[in-house]
Amino acid sequence: MAKVLVLYKKPKNAEAFDKHYASVHIPLAKKIPGLKKYDISTGGVGAPTGPSEVHLVATLYFDSMEALQAGLASSEGKAAAGDLANFADGGAELYFFDTKDV
């Protein structure tokens, strides 16, 4: 299974971020072809040293790296990526990787 991990940094306005994310970004992302599962963190995101600078963590699941790449390259994937500028003013880090069960 391939995954996209998105770490959204603390925004200037958390309430506005959360509202846009729930009402606009999630529906856009859920349209990405090949997306099998999509989950997000709830509550604060901590680190071993205490609170972190991360506001929200999102994980998107695909059957393979090829499916992930095709999904992100699709018009729906581009629309979701383009939406980041509309709400993620604290910045976002995206990571793509394949996984295996151990």
pLDDT digits (tens, 9 = 90+) for 10-24: 999 999 999 999 999
SS (H, E, C) the chain: CEEEEEEEECCCCHHHHHHHHHHHHHHHHCCCCCEEEEEECCCCCEECCEECCEEEEEEEEECCHHHHHHHHHCHHHHHHHHHHHHCCCCCEEEEEEECCCC
Q: How many CA atoms lie within 13 A of 94 on its CB side?
A: 10
pLDDT in tens, 17-53: 999 999 999 999 999 999 999 999 998 999 999 989 9
What pLDDT digit, counting tens, does each position of 82-99 carry? 999 999 999 999 999 999
Domains of the chain: 2-39+51-98 (3.30.70.100)
Can you give the pLDDT at residue 99?
Answer: 95
Q: What is the pLDDT of residue 39?
A: 98
% of the chain beyond a pLDDT of 90: 97
> Tokens 């880090």 identify what position?
93
